Amino acid sequence: MIDQYSSTIIEAVEKIKTSVVKIERVSVENQKEKQNGSGSGFIFSSDGFLFTNSHVVNKAQKTYVVLHDGSRHLAELIGEDPSTDLAILKISAFDFSIAQLGDSSSLKIGQLVIAIGNPLGFQYTVTSGIISALGRTMRSQDGNMMDSMIQTDAALNPGNSGGPLINASGEVIGVNTAMIVGAQNLCFAISINTAKEIAYQLIKYGKVKRAYLGLSMQQIELVPKLKAILEIRNQNALFISKVASGSPAEKGGILEGDIIYRFNDKNIETSDELFKELTAEKIGLFQYINVIRNNQKLELKITPSEKVLN
């Protein structure tokens, strides 16, 4: 008899497995195609749009998508954003299913998550774990700072990149993107709410333009006593672990250890919410940011700059 934990994972995987694809990166030499890399992805639109990682498809001469039934389709690169390590591909196919996208704003530390992908060329591999941290900022392989990361201990391997991280209901709550080499069970996914925003811009404009603050963050839960003393309604806020030298945040007076709870009169509880506020229209214009410092509330002015890739 299958236990409840196993049944939950099996049922969740059944809901999404046929929308998960293998990405094949191909080079062309002397009119002959040669595979020189692979990754994972998942279809999220009836039009054939799918998510994968930027590093999987970057500078690829050709990219193919292999569906669950083994059929192989040439993919069109709609756009990529190295800053979040996301890319959108499009295929012309008929027999595929669509992944259900969830809501990453309601995630909790300790929640069950499941990763699906094609590690090391093994088709449709499933691993499970829990959410270890939320709203993380980490440095990508090309040196860019990636925000809105979900940290999980669900094992990832080369080839998992671009596959879905799902919840117990089979909804995608993140796009698997990175593991820390040499570390045990330290893996990351870009949250689906931020991924949705990136996808919208890539499909509409072919690129992403956003405002930059220069912060490394982690989502934390506010202590009830502190909330009561400061009369703050937020359940969560963003703890600043690092401020980049010379960044708009440093120039605006933000310090390591500050806790962001408000931006332009909007309560901010997740890095997704802050990311959504940092639109291109905010570049070069004063913005108000509210922080907690030494158990006191402060309002600072900050002027975001344009995000520049390394």
pLDDT of residue 122: 55
Question: pTM for the whole thing?
Answer: 0.87
Residue 123 has what pLDDT? Answer: 64
pLDDT digits 0-9 by tens, 142-178: 566 788 899 999 888 777 889 999 999 999 999 998 6
Nearest to 96 by CA among 148, 167, 147, 48: 48
- Spatial neighbors of 193 by CB under 8 A, at least 6 apart, are 103, 104, 105, 148, 270, 272, 276
Residue 221 backbone class (left: φ over 0; alpha: ψ -120 to 50; beta: rest): beta
Residue 161: the pLDDT is 84
Question: Residue 2: what pLDDT?
Answer: 82
Q: Which residues of 33-58 are buried (b: 16+ CB within 10 A; e: fewer)?
A: eeeebbbbbbbbeeebbbbbbbbbbe
pLDDT at site 120: 53
Tell the residue number behind the tokens 């959410």, with chain if given: 131
Rounded Cα distance, 24 and 65, in Å: 6
pLDDT at 32: 87
List the beta bridge partners of residue 262.
267, 290
**Separation between Cα atoms, residue 199 and residue 49, nearest integer Å:** 9
Catalytic residue set = 55, 85, 161
Q: In this structure, are strands 49-52 and 32-43 parallel, antiparallel, or unpaired?
A: antiparallel
Domains of the chain, first to last: 4-90 (2.40.10.10), 104-202 (2.40.10.10), 211-306 (2.30.42.10)
In which residue ranges of the chain is pLDDT below 50? none
CA 46 from chain centre, in angstroms, equals: 22
Taking only the tens place, the pLDDT of each residue in 42-76 is 999 999 999 999 989 988 999 999 998 889 999 99
Per DSSP (E only), the strands in 236-295 are: 236-243, 259-263, 266-267, 287-293
Burial of 277 (0-12, 13-18, 19+ CB in 10 A): middle
In the chain, how many H helices and how many E strands? 6, 21
